[in-house]
Chain A
């Protein structure tokens, strides 16, 4: 053992096979190296270890009790058995106990065929429920939120949602309450989730092994709009769902199906299919101008302005800031998110241009996000005179709609986006990845200030790319055009954070006045939108990485790579908005925030 310690390696024996592992490796990870499968439920690779479902029990030689493979760290040479009669009986008994208290029928559950509990029941050949089966629901589902629907009757108390909310996202809207058989997951004082500090990010949904957590399903509303002959139903699609929806149809993670999806949406009956990237480009124009104007106010006019400026595209992040840092809301860009800018323009600019009465327009947004549902319900989001965006659908809801139509997405041919709001740049495309908004903004702002393209190979601002929780970069401005002389020889300092627990670290620095940055991009979800709470299940680190690669690959081949060179954006300003930060822009494209506090 002494030798093992000094070399930081331990040799263990699993099912008769020796393997050398790092000191402190869990039994679960060691078994994986030998391709030995151990079932898990409360374990999730994104989350801290819990060891409470007890399904991963194994035998460790010399221990009286079985040990949870997920939480047992190997610190000495031990002999492990991952299969024995004792283990099989224990695992099966535990599964039967969970199933006995799990209310609901698989066929009427949205997780049917994609449920970890169901898979384990099959794996362990559960053909009878010896402890009977609960026949009445114990809890009333919580449908108070416009984003998240919680049904504790299907909950198996693995507490992944709690660990997601508390440790992974740093939000702490959920916790376990009561004891023993009365234990349940609840918000503060058992309030409905809408009254809790929930930021609607939906990360809990993505980690729920069963059907206890889901988005508020709005697909029926869309079907109703589609069959209404008086309605013009317009859908805008965001880049993240396009890089993920294929997973729902058996394609490997990291397959972009943008143009096939357009075909599917047309077949379903949407009248126009537009690209959210169009308003992502518009966001870059508005937000970039806002940043430059704040910098000018500070450096030239000596005004007291809020710097660093922080992005506001992610509605989960915005709500997080409203709850936890209400005193810092002035730092948020006043720009609406691309989804909301789109809605506001469709019901004004587009309606005028195409001669459609805006009251007959139904705007649907395909988003990777459940907080987008909350965002389009915000009272501030009615600047067109109507509800700017009527419905935000998640990737999962859209996959279900496509399946219900009998369409096999994989087999479809390509269709382009509709004119005029289907034209977009690669800068808009990369909004779907953490760091993307920052990169898009840098490409445009740098060029406005210096009249030169960003000094990076193929415009790829690599310092802001990657999956590290917080990334920082410095962009040197060697010379500036006459309008921006005050920025010459200056260093633009930026930061990017994804996941709200990382946002908290950044915001604490802003709060303490320790932040040296000028501009910060924050996304509520890990990996950015591509890891959103509305994306296909499962989502994990490997899958997030694959989706990011797919988005970057697609953007490399696009005709336009910079937002300010998108010809439709130029046209929009010429015909309608006049210039960035104009009065009209402010009316339609900018918003304000609501300090919410914690209770």
Chain B
């Protein structure tokens, strides 16, 4: 089982080294290397990065685009901010390697509105790299050029969904597109586009420098390498940690000094809430999908309060286009409020469960499909606590259940 001490992303880094290696290879060779590393997308969905690049490489298009998803909006997630603040050159180098591999000349970084203050640092990094001929025209004298543009979001969570992000880039209302076609085939301006998370791009230079085999030594069979986690909540040492994939929840709790832990929300508001019985599970795509956030709740926390908070977030952030998400998130929140008032019958709880299951399979995009995760996992894992509330009298009066 993996340990918790390993660091990749925070290890030493010399800008340009990986890119110098990359330009000696062909696009398909780089893609093969990334495929061999089994690097999976760090935005949450875990799609194999090499496969994505390969799709864009082989897709037909007048232009191809590299898009960095820096719309870090998941509640409890602040890992990309560290990279954007302290390690922007790793991001841009990863993007440059991706561009070289798939044959793109333009790259865009989509930065969440709240990270506007990071723009000067990013601009400076870009200009330093341009001076070092690591970005811009005629990179390293190879004739390969890459322009990098910074695009600010406007504060909508849904724009972290890759197709909504692209709509927003194109100046439209941020709403998910129908898939297929995926952005790898028809992305920004209908051209093949690589959309990767900030963190994903950062691993690329390390893989190029040290090799896919080295990267695969970290993590599990299905989830290689390490992963950044934003850890918050009832812990002694909150912060951003780089952990090897496969680290268990228990290991994490011990490391950050969590006491009397009742629940751990893995993957932010759209992740799942695990109880004690699952604390020995590893954080990996094949077990507990890691996302970017771990929020710890101790025994003093009211799980309905926690859930109500998450559901309020989704009601606020649902883009409103598809029925199950727009109406469903609202009904789930309404249900949580009923539960808090002790007015939710077992029957209605069942209905809400069915609604949650439907949302998982029926919503148009990831936001809606993941929105019921917290609801379903909390009502399943903390059923006793929730049902105990059902018989509570409010203001001394017996209330009616619906």
Taking the closest CB of chain B, its distance from the CB of A563, in whole angstroms, is 48
Taking the closest CB of chain A, its distance from the CB of B385, in whole angstroms, is 24
Q: Please measure, in the bound complex, the distance between the C-alpha atom of A75 and the C-alpha atom of B180, giving whole angstroms.
A: 10
Contact status B315-A94, CB under 8 Å: no
A194 at the interface (CB under 8 A from B): no
Contact status B323-A53, CB under 8 Å: yes
Contact status A52-B361, CB under 8 Å: no
Which residues of the partner chain B approach A156 to less than 8 Å between Cβ atoms?
323
B230 at the interface (CB under 8 A from A): no
Contact status B362-A94, CB under 8 Å: yes
Interface of A is mostly: loop
Contact status A54-B354, CB under 8 Å: no
Interface residue from B180, B326, B358 paired with A181 (Cβ < 8 Å): B326
Interface residue from B180, B320, B358 paired with A94 (Cβ < 8 Å): B358
Q: Which residue of A lies closest to B350 (CB)?
A: A130
- Which candidate, A172-180, A316-324, A554-562, is the interface stretch facing chain B? A172-180
Which residues of the partner chain A approach B326 to less than 8 Å between Cβ atoms?
157, 180-181, 183
B105 at the interface (CB under 8 A from A): no
Contact status A65-B178, CB under 8 Å: no
Q: Which of B333-366 touch A at CB < 8 Å?
A: 348, 351, 354-355, 357-358, 360-364
Contact status B318-A179, CB under 8 Å: yes
B328 at the interface (CB under 8 A from A): yes
Most buried by A among B355, B362, B363: B362
- Which candidate, A66-74, A145-153, A195-203, A471-479, is the interface stretch facing chain B? A66-74
Query: A101 with B327: in contact, given A54-B364, A64-B361 (CB under 8 Å)?
Result: yes
Taking the closest CB of chain B, its distance from the CB of A326, in whole angstroms, is 26
B83 at the interface (CB under 8 A from A): no
Query: A100 with B327: in contact, given A52-B364, A68-B178, A89-B358 (CB under 8 Å)?
Result: yes
A182 at the interface (CB under 8 A from B): yes
Q: Please measure, in the bound complex, the distance between the C-alpha atom of A163 and the C-alpha atom of B238, giving whole angstroms.
A: 48
Bitwise interface map of B from 353 to 389 toward A, beta carbon under 8 Å scored 1, else 0: 0110110111110000100000000000000000000
Which residues of the partner chain A approach B328 to less than 8 Å between Cβ atoms?
97
Q: Please measure, in the bound complex, the distance between the C-alpha atom of A75 and the C-alpha atom of B181, giving whole angstroms.
A: 10
Taking the closest CB of chain A, its distance from the CB of B75, in whole angstroms, is 16
Q: Please measure, in the bound complex, the distance between the C-alpha atom of A98 and the C-alpha atom of B328, giving whole angstroms.
A: 10
Contact status A180-B317, CB under 8 Å: yes
Which residues of the partner chain B approach A484 to less than 8 Å between Cβ atoms?
none
Contact status B361-A181, CB under 8 Å: no
A159 at the interface (CB under 8 A from B): yes
Q: Please measure, in the bound complex, the distance between the C-alpha atom of A333 and the C-alpha atom of B355, giving whole angstroms.
A: 58
Q: Which of A98-156 touch B at CB < 8 Å?
A: 98, 100-101, 130-132, 156
B240 at the interface (CB under 8 A from A): no
Which residues of the partner chain B approach A183 to less than 8 Å between Cβ atoms?
319-321, 326
Q: Please measure, in the bound complex, the distance between the C-alpha atom of A381 and the C-alpha atom of B127, giving whole angstroms.
A: 65
Task: Tell me the total A-B contact number using a CB cutoff of 8 A.
Answer: 110
Contact status B320-A131, CB under 8 Å: no
Taking the closest CB of chain A, its distance from the CB of B170, in whole angstroms, is 15
Q: Please measure, in the bound complex, the distance between the C-alpha atom of A178 and the C-alpha atom of B326, giving whole angstroms.
A: 11
B275 at the interface (CB under 8 A from A): no
Contact status B318-A53, CB under 8 Å: no
Which residues of the partner chain A approach B331 to less than 8 Å between Cβ atoms?
97, 100, 131
Q: Which of B302-319 touch A at CB < 8 Å?
A: 314-319
B184 at the interface (CB under 8 A from A): no
Q: Which residue of B lies closest to A159 (CB)?
A: B321
A49 at the interface (CB under 8 A from B): yes
Bitwise interface map of B from 71 to 96 toward A, beta carbon under 8 Å scored 1, else 0: 00000000000000000000000000
A401 at the interface (CB under 8 A from B): no
Q: Which residue of A lies closest to B173 (CB)?
A: A176
Taking the closest CB of chain B, its distance from the CB of A442, in whole angstroms, is 42
Which residues of the partner chain B approach A97 to less than 8 Å between Cβ atoms?
323-324, 327-328, 331, 355
B220 at the interface (CB under 8 A from A): no
Contact status A94-B317, CB under 8 Å: no
A86 at the interface (CB under 8 A from B): yes
Q: Which residue of B lies closest to A101 (CB)?
A: B327
B263 at the interface (CB under 8 A from A): no
Taking the closest CB of chain B, its distance from the CB of A90, in whole angstroms, is 5
Contact status B180-A54, CB under 8 Å: no
Taking the closest CB of chain B, its distance from the CB of A569, in whole angstroms, is 52
A51 at the interface (CB under 8 A from B): yes
B402 at the interface (CB under 8 A from A): yes
B156 at the interface (CB under 8 A from A): yes
Q: Please measure, in the bound complex, the distance between the C-alpha atom of A54 and the C-alpha atom of B317, giving whole angstroms.
A: 19
Q: Which of A31-71 touch B at CB < 8 Å?
A: 49, 51-55, 57, 64-66, 68, 71
Which residues of the partner chain B approach A98 to less than 8 Å between Cβ atoms?
323, 327
Q: Please measure, in the bound complex, the distance between the C-alpha atom of A71 and the C-alpha atom of B178, giving whole angstroms.
A: 7
Most buried by B among A51, A101, A176, A179: A179
Q: Please measure, in the bound complex, the distance between the C-alpha atom of A89 and the C-alpha atom of B180, giving whole angstroms.
A: 24
Q: Please measure, in the bound complex, the distance between the C-alpha atom of A240 and the C-alpha atom of B134, giving whole angstroms.
A: 67
Interface residue from B158, B318, B321 paired with A52 (Cβ < 8 Å): B321
Bitwise interface map of A from 177 to 212 toward B, beta carbon under 8 Å scored 1, else 0: 011111100000000000000000000000000000
B322 at the interface (CB under 8 A from A): yes
Interface residue from A73, A101, A176 paired with B321 (Cβ < 8 Å): A176
Q: Please measure, in the bound complex, the distance between the C-alpha atom of A65 and the C-alpha atom of B45, giving whole angstroms.
A: 14
Q: Which residue of A lies closest to B319 (CB)?
A: A179
Which residues of the partner chain A approach B49 to less than 8 Å between Cβ atoms?
none
Interface residue from B173, B361, B402 paired with A66 (Cβ < 8 Å): B361
Taking the closest CB of chain A, its distance from the CB of B341, in whole angstroms, is 15
Taking the closest CB of chain B, its distance from the CB of A190, in whole angstroms, is 15
Q: Please measure, in the bound complex, the distance between the C-alpha atom of A157 and the C-alpha atom of B326, giving whole angstroms.
A: 10
Q: Please measure, in the bound complex, the distance between the C-alpha atom of A101 and the C-alpha atom of B331, giving whole angstroms.
A: 10
Contact status B324-A94, CB under 8 Å: yes
Q: Which of B217-260 touch A at CB < 8 Å?
A: none
Q: Please measure, in the bound complex, the distance between the C-alpha atom of A130 and the C-alpha atom of B331, giving whole angstroms.
A: 11
Q: Which residue of B lies closest to A175 (CB)?
A: B173
A93 at the interface (CB under 8 A from B): yes
Contact status B330-A90, CB under 8 Å: no
Q: Please measure, in the bound complex, the distance between the C-alpha atom of A182 and the C-alpha atom of B320, giving whole angstroms.
A: 8
Contact status B319-A53, CB under 8 Å: no
B293 at the interface (CB under 8 A from A): no
Q: Please measure, in the bound complex, the distance between the C-alpha atom of A183 and the C-alpha atom of B174, giving whole angstroms.
A: 13
Query: A180 with B324: in contact, given A65-B362, A90-B361, A94-B358 (CB under 8 Å)?
Result: no
Interface residue from A54, A176, A180 paired with B318 (Cβ < 8 Å): A180
Which residues of the partner chain B approach A66 to less than 8 Å between Cβ atoms?
361-362
Which residues of the partner chain A approach B316 to less than 8 Å between Cβ atoms?
179-180
Which residues of the partner chain A approach B173 to less than 8 Å between Cβ atoms?
175-176
Q: Please measure, in the bound complex, the distance between the C-alpha atom of A71 and the C-alpha atom of B181, giving whole angstroms.
A: 10
B196 at the interface (CB under 8 A from A): no
B329 at the interface (CB under 8 A from A): yes
Q: Can you offer 5 A-B residue contacts whose CB atoms are under 8 A?
A: A53-B323, A93-B358, A98-B323, A101-B327, A180-B317
Extra pairs beyond A73-B181, A131-B351, A181-B326 (9, CB < 8 Å): A51-B322, A54-B362, A93-B358, A176-B173, A176-B321, A180-B317, A180-B326, A181-B315, A181-B329
The 6 residue pairs across chains A and B that have the minimum distance between CB atoms: A183-B320, A97-B327, A180-B318, A71-B178, A181-B330, A93-B358
